[in-house]
Amino acid sequence: MEKIAIIGAGASGIMAAMVAKNKNNSIDLYEKNSSIAKKIRASGNGRCNITNRNITKYDYFGNNLDFLEYGLREFDFFKFEKLCNNMGLYLSVQDDGKVYPCSFESASVVKIFEEKLDEKGINISLKSEIIDITKQKDKFMLQKSDKSIKFYDKVLISTGSKAASKLGGNSFGEKIAKKFGHHLFPSYPSLVQLETKEREVIRLSGVKIWAKVTLHSKIDKDISILGDVLFTRYGLSGFAILDISPFVSKLLLENKEVILSIDMLPKFSVQMLQSILIKSCKNNPNSSFETILLGLLPQKVANNISFKLGFKSKKMKDLSLKDIKKSVYAIKDCRYSIKDTHGYEYAEVCGGGIDTLQIDPKSLESKLVKNLYFLGESLDIVGKRGGYNLAFAWMSGYLAGRGINPNKERD
Ligand SMILES: Cc1cc2nc3c(=O)[nH]c(=O)nc-3n(C[C@H](O)[C@H](O)[C@H](O)COP(=O)(O)OP(=O)(O)OC[C@H]3O[C@@H](n4cnc5c(N)ncnc54)[C@H](O)[C@@H]3O)c2cc1C
């Protein structure tokens, strides 16, 4: 009987275990947490954005995106949906392509997978951290944190990335890959909040606006994203910030200066906003500048802009055309220097990782070490927000499971 160890019971490890199991193998699934799939549980704010209906390789970041082509063909949305439906897990596809379980509860997804693992006879060891792997002839020797040792024919490493250590994230996968001679790309936090040099964000803390965020680049094209921006005590959060964070994080990794511009009223062009303010000077000459801004923006933002411009005590009739132009730019091109991301602890995912040129895209087996597989987020593939990261975890788990269990039907 072939003995297989899967290290890490997240999305990729669970999927691999389910697909790999047959009557000729025994599978031990090791998980250092006291329960499986903590990241799935936390995903989509507890609603689990389980995958995306429309996925291409361009929804990912990595140094070798062609790696994804085989998997995206072999394990497309319909295959995933069929697999879920066969387990009794039904999916709800949203207009924007995001897919959730019909229950909109991540706990239900975990429960269904948990039962299936049990039914298939996978041996799950919880609170079992693997601390080292060595190869002795054609066997792998796994060492647990309690110093016990076990031998396996095949080992799948599905330990995720450094992101969100409270949920189990760490760099074990990278450590083992490096030990066995693989090349790694430097890791960086992604889908993460950003810390600003400007302390003024403290004054705005708690305010959420719908804005356009632009990353100005001296080398590449500017990148703009529309969405929520939430001001925090340390800097910026919200979906638009998370979505732009992979680009920012990569620039920070290269020690580049990063300036973000926030357009707080993207619905108005510069000309429209200028004429609104000019009209207000005529119609409401005795109103304070700050009160006029309150008709357009949240109070803390209005306060901050009038404070920054030194217009706190100014009435509309006191404003010159130059003052109006200055205020328009303060609203539509409010710039922040990014000093750092908010860190791995708060990141949803991690970019960088194991070089996929050294991994077989069809089976996820290492090209350097036979019978050693790397899946999920430890690889140099990271997705946008919107279900793409779980999609890759499921996909890589499926391919690795099928690599081990080649008789698995290819419907
Ligand atoms: C808060 C949050 C919300 C998210 N929401 C979404 C979402 O809605 N949609 C989406 O697509 N993606 C989401 N993601 C990202 C997604 O959860 C991950 O990309 C995905 O879970 C990665 O799967 P994985 O199998 O590679 O690793 P993980 O899910 O991280 O699983 C790795 C497992 O290995 C265990 N482990 C690590 N080291 C060891 C060891 N040495 N021994 C034993 N066990 C070990 C860990 O405890 C963990 O359980 C979210 C992430 C976070 C943090």
pLDDT at 270: 97
CA dist., res. 374 & res. 13, Å (int): 10
Distance 9 CA to ligand 1 centre (A): 9
Query: Which whole number is the average pLDDT over 288-309?
Result: 95
β pairing state of 91-93 and 349-354: unpaired
Output the six-digit token pair for 135: 């190869």
Q: Whose CA is nearest to atom 38 of ligand 1?
A: 159
Query: Which whole number is the average pLDDT over 51-62?
Result: 98
Residue 126's pLDDT band (cuts 50, 70, 90):
very high
Lining residues, ligand 1, CB within 6 Å: 7-13, 30-33, 38-39, 42-44, 48-49, 129-130, 158-160, 163-164, 167-170, 172, 348-349, 376-377, 387-390, 393
Angle between helices 299-309 and 321-332 (to 10 degrees): 130
Distance 390 CA to ligand 1 centre (A): 8
Instruction: Pick from 29, 32, 39, 373 the residue to mutate for probing ligand 1's pocket: most ligand atoms within 8 Å of its CB.
Output: 39
Residue 409 has pLDDT above 60, yes or no: no
Q: Do domains 2-189+353-404 and 193-342 have the same CATH topology?
A: no
The string of pLDDT tens digits covering residues 76-87 is 999 999 999 999
The string of pLDDT tens digits covering residues 144-170 is 999 999 999 999 999 999 999 999 999
Query: Which whole number is the average pLDDT over 256-268?
Result: 96
CATH architecture of the domain covering 2-189+353-404: 3-Layer(bba) Sandwich (3.50)
Residue 406 has pLDDT above 90, yes or no: no
Q: Whose CA is nearest to atom 30 of ligand 1?
A: 160
Residue 313's pLDDT band (cuts 50, 70, 90):
confident
Rg (the chain; Cα; Å): 25
C-alpha distance across the termini of the chain, in Å: 26
Residue 411 has pLDDT above 50, yes or no: no
Nearest-atom index, ligand 1, CA of 12: 25
Name residue 53's beta-bridge partners.
Answer: none
Q: Whose CA is nearest to atom 11 of ligand 1?
A: 387
pLDDT at 312: 86
Distance 254 CA to ligand 1 centre (A): 26
Chain mean pLDDT for the chain: 95
Among residues 376, 369, 274, 248, the alpha carbon closest in space to that of 331 is found at 274
Q: Percent of the chain, pLDDT > 90? A: 95
Distance 266 CA to ligand 1 centre (A): 35
SS3 of 327-396: the string is HHHHHHCEEEEEEEECCHHHCCEEEEEECHHHECCCCCEECCCCCEEECHHHECCEECCCCHHHHHHHHH
pLDDT at 407: 67
Q: Whose CA is nearest to atom 27 of ligand 1?
A: 160
Domain boundaries, the chain: 2-189+353-404, 193-342
* Burial per residue of 356-389, b for 16 or more beta-carbon CB atoms within 10 angstroms, e otherwise: bebbbbebbbbeebebbbbbbbbbbbbbbbbbbb
Extract the runs of DSSP E, i.e. beta strands, from 31-97.
51-52, 60-61, 91-93
Distance 5 CA to ligand 1 centre (A): 18
Instruction: Write the CATH number of the domain with boundaries 193-342.
Output: 1.10.8.260
Residue 173's pLDDT band (cuts 50, 70, 90):
very high
CA dist., res. 52 & res. 49, Å (int): 8
CA dist., res. 282 & res. 290, Å (int): 16
Cβ contact 234:342 at 8 Å: yes
**For the purposes of burial, counting CB atoms within 10 Å of the CB of 42, is it exposed (0-12), middle (13-18) or buried (19 or more)?**
middle
Name residue 230's beta-bridge partners.
Answer: 208, 237
Among residues 193, 190, 251, the alpha carbon closest in space to that of 389 is found at 190
Angle of CA points 59, 63, 65, to nearest 5°: 45
Nearest-atom index, ligand 1, CA of 382: 19
pLDDT at 263: 98
Distance 349 CA to ligand 1 centre (A): 8
Q: Percent of the chain, pLDDT > 70? A: 99
Residue 323's pLDDT band (cuts 50, 70, 90):
very high
The string of pLDDT tens digits covering residues 324-341 is 999 999 999 999 999 999
Q: Whose CA is nearest to atom 19 of ligand 1?
A: 389
The string of pLDDT tens digits covering residues 81-124 is 999 999 999 999 999 999 999 999 999 999 999 999 999 999 99
Residue 217's pLDDT band (cuts 50, 70, 90):
confident
